[in-house]
Amino acid sequence: MSVPVALLHQYNIPVPRYTSYPTVPVWPADIDYDRWIVTAGEQLTSHAASKGISLYIHLPFCESLCTYCGCNKKITTNHNVEVPYIDAVLKEWELYVQQLPQKPVIKELHLGGGTPTFFSPENLERLLSGIFELGTLAPTPEMSFEGHPGNTTAEHLLTFYNLGFRRVSFGVQDLDPQVQHVINRIQPFEQLEEVTRLARNIGYQSVNFDLIYGLPLQTIDSITNTINRSLELHPDRIAFYSYAHVPWTSKAQRLFSEADLPTAAVKLLLYQQGKRIFAEHGYQDIGMDHFAIPGDALYKAQQTGMLHRNFMGYTTQHTAVLVGLGVSAISDIGIAYAQNEKTIHDYYQRLENNELPVAKGIFLTEEDRLFKQYILDISCRGKTTFVNKYREQLEQYSYPELDQLEADDLIYRNSNGIKVTDTGKNFIRNICRAFDLHLLRNGESGDRPMFSKAV
């Protein structure tokens, strides 16, 4: 359905993506290390064997710099960095496992970056074999990796497949040559076509494409062509991300002129055009930025109320503990978050001292945990039910926001809770914001914004 342009403008404000709550910018600059060790050990012991855990491994290396990218990455063509980094990640994993009375059950594993396929297939096999040696794979684990169409080989795909991976996500971003040039991401359609064909022939059950709208030099015609050509390859899932222009945290974004970026009005049109084309081709709106065909596991999880969201995005595995390994990776143990050191030097140094490399984090209050659940309910199930605890905070901070959302027909509301309307599905981040007490109490602090805009 078409969304009124006036609403898109009204709600196009800086809003978190809510892969966590509280969101990372409000975390303290450091963390009580001893408390983290004890708390993480208790949570892992409670969940690792009986219920299983999720693992995220951050592989930060890239051979070239994509100027749109806001991820933590290290640009190098020196592949001698692979082995020392793998050694460090395996040591970090060992430090976590040492706290457990038995091997953890791994229900979910995702490799992100950076560019995971920067690493050779042999070194990736060594990394993953080391991970599996200290853990036990669940009967049907959800395992995936991010692949660059320009350097993902048949050997990469076979190696991952033989280790149990059944899902791959390719970073397409845009297929227009002019856009690719300005963002320094040159990858002809033929490369994407070939690597997608290889994945399907090998037996991958789900292929995801990442696309971005709002990139420099994008137009309605160019993004229409990018989407239509991508859909010729029939991806099972699509992540349609808004380009987050955050040059205050990503210096690479200063390498092109802001004058090349689509205006706010054009960016809104790009968003609407993309959603329209996906709907015409049968893709279902899963939630924030994500679409899937009806047969895909992500769609089925949404339909059965089993969809979950964490730092890896939307997932079909509802685990209470996510361990992040690697530089800048974030761990979520349900009642606390911790982020690793952001530089490789500091990451290595902490591990050489036999310390977990956590640098900052937050321990959640009871109030945080309740409002985190409200946000998870909205982002994963499109509805939530109010409870009596902290009703005063709900009434003081959330109700005024919900009043406006209801007036704009983005939610249905009664005394027991809310449900997102069809129009409101386009504004999930804004609806989640109504339960972000940290943001509503304090606003954005400082001289520069913390978050990208909603659209």
Residue 112 known to bind ligand: no
Residue 383 contacts residue 417 (beta carbons within 8 Å):
yes
Helices of type H across 184-263: 189-202, 220-231
Q: Tell whether 68 is in a known binding site.
A: yes
18 annotated as ligand-binding: no
| 69 close to 252: Cβ distance less than 8 angstroms | yes
Q: Are 339 and 361 in contact (CB under 8 A)?
A: yes
H or E segment to which residue 240 belongs: strand 237-242
Q: What is the spatial distance between Cα 431 and Cα 72, in angstroms, rounded to a whole number? A: 28
- Look at residues 384, 387, 363, 389 and name the one whose alpha carbon lies nearest to residue 434: 384
Is residue 117 annotated as involved in ligand binding?
no
Is position 272 annotated in a ligand binding site? no
The annotation status of 173 as a binding-site residue, yes or no, is yes
244 Cβ contact partners less than 8 Å away, ≥ 6 residues apart: 70, 452
- Cβ atoms 75, 66 nearer than 8 A: no
Q: Residue 62, annotated ligand binder? A: yes
330 marked among binding-site residues:
yes
In the block, tokens 């709002």 appear at 214
96 is in an annotated binding site: no
**Contact criterion met (CB below 8 Å) for 236 and 208:** yes
Contacts of 133 by beta carbon, 8 Å cutoff, 6+ apart: none
If DSSP codes are grouped into helix, strand and coil, which group holds residue 150?
coil
Q: Which residues are annotated as a binding site for [4Fe-4S] cluster?
A: 62, 66, 69
Q: Which residues are annotated as a binding site?
A: 56, 62, 66, 68-70, 113-115, 146, 173, 185, 210, 244, 330
Q: Which residues are annotated as a binding site for S-adenosyl-L-methionine?
A: 56, 68-70, 113-115, 146, 173, 185, 210, 244, 330
